[in-house]
């Protein structure tokens, strides 16, 4: 598998889930390398590049060493390595709860659908710098919308983003709006306006707990 490299080591670490409906839950994080989108505000651009090649068995052993029943697979874009990811999940304990964070452009395989407990889908809006025809794939988003355990997390700048979100016709009860912010100070400034936006449209406000706790530090 191609694992993102942080400080010259494969990025596998133990922390708290910082986003989404399982925010605050302890988990092992596995960051895969490579991405099919290039967001201007991405805070892990180093993961776009070729990473460190690690065998599936070695990755499973590293995850197991933390003695934790939660796994968050992130990237980059994890679904670019579906075959390897499915093989990895086969080696993990069946009671390990697996979350996959994806940009929602690729449809997951049957093997992954059978094993993943939660999909954290983050479609990218215009301010990501990606072309809409590339970033917003209707067939893939429809496939995720049909899954009751898929949540849709949008990074937003403000009210102007709502029209684009609404046009996607995703389940509102599983929609999360999260402020666009690269650090703790920017998050504090952006949060109130997004909270008001969530109240207006009756959707969930998403926090960025990792910024609140550790600001811009990586690998935590």
pLDDT, one tens digit per residue, over 114-153 is 999 999 999 999 999 999 999 999 999 999 999 999 999 9
d(CA 204, CA 188): 17
Query: What pLDDT, on a 0 to 100 scale, did the predictor assign at position 77?
Result: 98
d(CA 83, CA 175): 28
Site of tokens 């550790």 = 214
N-term to C-term CA, the chain? 21
Where exactly are the structural domains of the chain?
2-153
Q: How confident is the model at residue 72 (pLDDT cuts 50, 70, 90)?
A: very high
In the Cβ-directed half-sphere of 148, how many Cα atoms lie within 13 Å?
A: 0
d(CA 91, CA 108): 19
Q: How confident is the model at residue 220 (pLDDT cuts 50, 70, 90)?
A: confident
Q: Could you count the other beta carbons within 10 Å of the beta carbon of residue 61?
A: 12
Nearest CA among 48, 53, 54 for reference residue 34: 48
This prediction's pTM: 0.96
d(CA 46, CA 75): 10
CATH of 2-153, one of 3.20.20.70, 3.30.70.330, 3.30.1380.10, 3.30.720.110: 3.20.20.70
User: Would you say how long the chain is, in residues?
Assistant: 220
Average pLDDT of span 169-183: 97
Average pLDDT of span 182-210: 96
Q: Which residues pair with 9 in a beta bridge?
A: 6
**Can you read off the two tokens belonging to residue 107?**
């449809």
Average pLDDT of span 82-94: 98
> Could you give the dihedral angle defined by the CA atoms of residues 161, 163, 169 and 170, in that order, rounded to the nearest 10 degrees?
20
Is the pLDDT assigned to residue 219 strictly greater than 90? no
Q: What share of the chain in percent tops pLDDT 90?
A: 97
């Amino acid at each position: 598998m191609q694992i993102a490299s942080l400080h010259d080591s494969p990025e596998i670490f133990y922390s708290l889930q910082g986003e989404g409906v399982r925010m605050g839950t302890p988990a092992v994080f596995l960051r895969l390398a490579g991405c099919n989108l290039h967001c201007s505000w991405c805070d892990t651009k180093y993961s776009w590049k070729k990473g460190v090649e690690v065998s599936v068995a070695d990755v499973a052993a590293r995850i197991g060493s933390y003695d934790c029943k939660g796994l968050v697979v992130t990237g980059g874009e994890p679904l670019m390595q579906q075959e390897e990811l499915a093989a990895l999940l086969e080696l993990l304990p069946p009671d390990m709860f697996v979350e996959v964070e994806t940009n929602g452009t690729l449809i997951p395989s049957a093997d992954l659908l059978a094993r993943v407990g939660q999909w954290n889908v983050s479609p990218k809006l215009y301010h990501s710098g990606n072309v809409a025809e590339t970033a917003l794939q209707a067939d893939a988003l429809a496939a995720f919308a049909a899954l009751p355990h898929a949540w849709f997390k949008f990074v937003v700048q403000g009210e102007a983003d709502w029209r684009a979100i609404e046009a996607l016709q995703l389940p509102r009860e599983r929609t999360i709006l999260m402020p666009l912010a690269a650090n703790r100070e920017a998050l504090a400034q952006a949060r109130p306006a997004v909270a008001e936006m969530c109240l207006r449209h009756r959707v969930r406000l998403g926090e960025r707990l990792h910024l609140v706790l550790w600001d811009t530090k990586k690998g935590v």
